Structure 1
Amino acid sequence: MADLAGNLAVRGERVELVPARPGSLAVVRLKDGRNIGRLEVLPGGLGELIAWELCIDEAERGYGAGSEAARLFALAASQAGWTRLRARAHPQFGLSVYFWMRMGFRPLHGEGPEGGIWFVRRLT
């Protein structure tokens, strides 16, 4: 999975996704190089990549870092040849439902992992 994170490294206008450890990307603010969050990724089914967790430090929320990280994730995944993204909304974090919908993902019917909701987005 180290290669998975390495293939998703990408730089945006305000943040970049930087491989941190296998299956994990750091969300790094370009202005000062500070690590402000993380994106945990897993391979899914055929052509599918899973955003298991996108977490931005609480003090950094509300400034667009999470939205830019999600857009960069989709861009990098598409460029790496993935055709579908899946994201998890944990049941304890209700705002993640709205977040993933704003990012162009649609909810899937049925219960997701740990009682949450799965979201999906086609890239092709």
Structure 2
Amino acid sequence: MRVDDLPLPIIGERFRLENRGDEMTIVRLADGAEVGRIRIEGTEGAVLVRSLCIDEPHRSYGAGSEAARLFNQACQAAKVPLVRTWAPRDLGLSVYFWIRMGYSPVPGEGPDGGIWFERRLE
């Protein structure tokens, strides 16, 4: 699975996800500002979110949450059965974010000692 395989752009209430080659760009609808990006990697039967990053001046306004929901919708439309992501071990806010987005922790150590999360979309 690559970014090109997802039905983009996908538009939400305040943001949209656009294809920018090897990543998705998170764009604010009100003014067209690019506020962040999502990087993914395809694996057998799943998509791995390498990073979902909102640029610092645009954090705490719901862009990350809406982008995660739009990403899940795009994956469902593309018939992706499983999405995996991770949170660094020293960023508790990331752990809280992925749990709030409906992802479940997976036993075992993630990248750099972090925590793996996954969500079934079937």
Q: Which TM-score band (shorter chain)? A: over 0.9
On the 8 A contact 1:17/1:25 being kept in 2, the answer is yes
Q: Distance in 2 between matches of 1:85 and 1:65?
A: 19
Q: How far 1:9 sits from its partner (Å)?
A: 3.0
Ranges in structure 2 where 5+ consecutive residues have no aligned partner: none
The count of residues paired between Structure 1 and Structure 2 equals: 121
**1:15 matched to 2:15:** yes
What is the TM-score when the length of structure 1 is the normalising length?
Answer: 0.91
Q: Distance in 2 between matches of 1:16 and 1:25?
A: 10
SS at match of 1:70: helix
The one-letter amino acid of 2:53's match is C
Match of 1:83 among 81, 85, 89: 81
Q: Distance in 1 between matches of 2:53 and 2:25?
A: 10
Q: Distance in 2 between matches of 1:117 and 1:44?
A: 18
1:30-82 CA distances to partner (integer Å, 9 max, x unpaired)? Answer: 00000000000111222x11111000011211111100000000000000110
Q: CA RMSD in A?
A: 1.4
SS at match of 1:41: strand
What is the TM-score when the length of structure 2 is the normalising length?
Answer: 0.92
1:73-105 CA distances to partner (integer Å, 9 max, x unpaired)? Answer: 000000011011111112243211000000000
Ranges in structure 1 where 5+ consecutive residues have no aligned partner: none
